[in-house]
Structure 1
């Protein structure tokens, strides 16, 4: 999962700080005793201000670990999302890779033979606890190198008042709106347009997150970026039909607002939703707090599909990896500690993210049922069967960038989905030879 999709709590507002370095017990690398090891950990910042910085979480995890593992010190450096991937890349290039990195992608390092595998690091209990789709997404050539850290899914958000005023849902409806098909989505958007809503459906295919929005529609149409054999299938008939629907039924009928989808970014769409200018859009958990903070009453449902039947939702994740620095045993111990249920729950609760382990998932379900986070329940329910980006492919970063640059052209009036998808697919296959 490209890191962009799991910045959820930060949503582009991650702290632009100089790295905050945290040493649990005051040990400094190079000054420890002969039999001591200092694990150097680099992590991403998910907070958007000093009060909710991720540094506090890592400090607690490191200190708790050191108490029960004498002889292993943990030094954590926390960087903003805008610099953390580049910082790790610089360290690796200089021959000073961290022992553990919590960043957005792992495939390049795995392909280069720089990472330990999951079974070289983790206890059987920890390794078996990862949710299936997330563990699979962490694999390169069927071997797991990427350890999922946090996850999320996407849902369709809608403005309850706008839909009620437009006659889409009764004003006294108790169960909200439950659309199943794209036809229902189109009909609702037409009513919103007739009621004068500026943007009946926001379709952000701008550079910020075009690959996410695109994947949601592809999955809902029965397609996706890859086939069952994990080979690129970007130009599949199902994907072509999905973009043709967007071009003809949504953009072509003026249901996506005045800004061209290819020039609309995710956060701009979110901001418009919180101002009451958007009737519907796909979103992640960050939008819950943003909309509630502006007093917008909203509902959330699973993304409707082309024919009304169920298809997998899109899941996204950020990753943890351990570099081959000679500290395999020590890194494994720390990672077993990191994935203990209490630590998983502490981080996901802090940022309204979803757990990546079965035990964490069950705990979150219980919490949602008990009223602690009821709005996250629908996101949570979609996680076990979700599909993630093909992040195990070294080529994915380039393919994602190609999608960001070109996919908006496919849904413009007169756009050619077949041609655009074929061009992207051809480059993708060339970059991922079998």
Structure 2
């Protein structure tokens, strides 16, 4: 898609400017392609910024990160890229920082936890584009049939899963540790066990005592007791687990807003609670964010900033979040959705966002660390396996990647 805008370009070179924007497609088909959203933003921008043209290219998620990397390597970086990671480009000096582009009002409006997740060496380069949080989902019908209440602790999860299994539920607790997105499932469990991927100073500590204890518990109390269903966690991808939940075959799993909407469409009565921990609900959820950034190459700093200031208006932020069952990234848009009954189904996710914990996005080594987690973590709960040895292997590979930066 190409949208042409005209507007006041600011102080770049005194003439008309064309901004090139590459974005990811969040749609599931022709009916909800992200082209429609960007066309609306482009036309709105056109009304107040004559002299600026914007060429928008929307690509599938399977291609967009690779295509942008190729463009940058070829010396043809876009002015703006909406993709999954920013740290490599920031460390290479290819991006404008947030304060070089945005108005004070726009920059200050990001949710603090998301602004922090966009920093490299204390400087924000990644602008959060959209976010999501995770909650524990349970099938209310299956729980009612088994005489169960919503789980609050790990012990509740284990007891409920045993009861669900006794009532013939196919997946009492679906534990997707296959390669599709097991870095997310892993982090959710690590957080509920008081750990995480990094320590207080940002160094990897994947094999911490807390993390080892968490996976020992998972293996001993869920996997070894046959409470995770017919597919071994290391062979169960998120998509298959989610599909089983929408069919009413899963008692519990960790989920996000899109799954909630899809399950409800299929007639599943979904219960949602904060992730249980050892002695009660966790104080922080796992958060996920995608990013948008401005490249320096074409020297369109002022025009890029004007576009971002327009794009991050409440209307645009809420429109995108609403279309794709995601969460807004700004304080004002979040406050608006939290008080709107239309978004009642998202309120629990919105409430979890300010205290969410994110992947270590600011590390250029994170991509390699994430791959190691996806490749290896399923082995930690296999019969006869040692969770400690698997976590130590992942930790070693992650630390090696960090040292190679």
Separation of aligned partners in 2, 1:248 and 1:219: 19
Separation of aligned partners in 1, 2:329 and 2:210: 29
Separation of aligned partners in 1, 2:164 and 2:204: 37
User: Could you say which residue in structure 1 is the equivalent of 2:222?
Assistant: 250
Which of 298, 301, 312 aligns to 2:284? It is: 312
Structure-to-structure mapping, 1:31-70, within 5 angstroms: 35-70=15-50
User: Could you say which residue in structure 2 is the equivalent of 1:399?
Assistant: 369
- Structure 1 residues 395-420: Cα deviation after superposition (integer angstroms, max 9, x where no partner): 00000000000000001121111111
Which of 112, 118, 143 aligns to 1:163? It is: 143
Asked if the contact 1:150/1:353 (under 8 Å) is kept, the reply is yes
Which of 304, 307, 324 aligns to 1:351? It is: 324
Where structure 1 has 5 or more consecutive residues not aligned to the other structure, the ranges are 1-20, 28-32, 170-176
SS in structure 2 at match of 1:248: helix
Separation of aligned partners in 1, 2:186 and 2:14: 53
- Structure 1 residues 301-347: Cα deviation after superposition (integer angstroms, max 9, x where no partner): 11101222533110000000100020011101101111111111111
Which of 316, 329, 334 aligns to 2:307? It is: 334
The Cα shift of 1:26 comes to: 8.6
Where structure 2 has 5 or more consecutive residues not aligned to the other structure, the ranges are 8-12
The Cα shift of 1:34 comes to: 7.4
Asked if the contact 2:119/2:125 (under 8 Å) is kept, the reply is yes
User: Could you say which residue in structure 2 is the equivalent of 1:225?
Assistant: 197
Structure-to-structure mapping, 1:52-91, within 5 angstroms: 52-91=32-71
Separation of aligned partners in 1, 2:14 and 2:148: 71
Separation of aligned partners in 2, 1:217 and 1:228: 18
Separation of aligned partners in 2, 1:309 and 1:190: 20
User: Could you say which residue in structure 2 is the equivalent of 1:118?
Assistant: 98
1:387 and 2:357 matched:
yes
Separation of aligned partners in 2, 1:313 and 1:123: 30
- Structure 1 residues 373-408: Cα deviation after superposition (integer angstroms, max 9, x where no partner): 211111110000001000110000000000000000
Separation of aligned partners in 1, 2:283 and 2:201: 18
User: Could you say which residue in structure 2 is the equivalent of 1:423?
Assistant: 393
Which of 92, 109, 112 aligns to 1:129? It is: 109
Structure-to-structure mapping, 1:131-150, within 5 angstroms: 131-150=111-130
How big is the alpha-carbon RMSD for the aligned residues of Structure 1 and Structure 2? 1.5
Separation of aligned partners in 1, 2:112 and 2:25: 26
Moved over 2 A (4+): 24-27
SS in structure 2 at match of 1:388: coil
Structure 2 length normalisation: TM-score? 0.96
User: Could you say which residue in structure 2 is the equivalent of 1:18?
Assistant: none
Count matched residues.
398
Structure 1 length normalisation: TM-score? 0.89
Asked if the contact 2:6/2:52 (under 8 Å) is kept, the reply is no
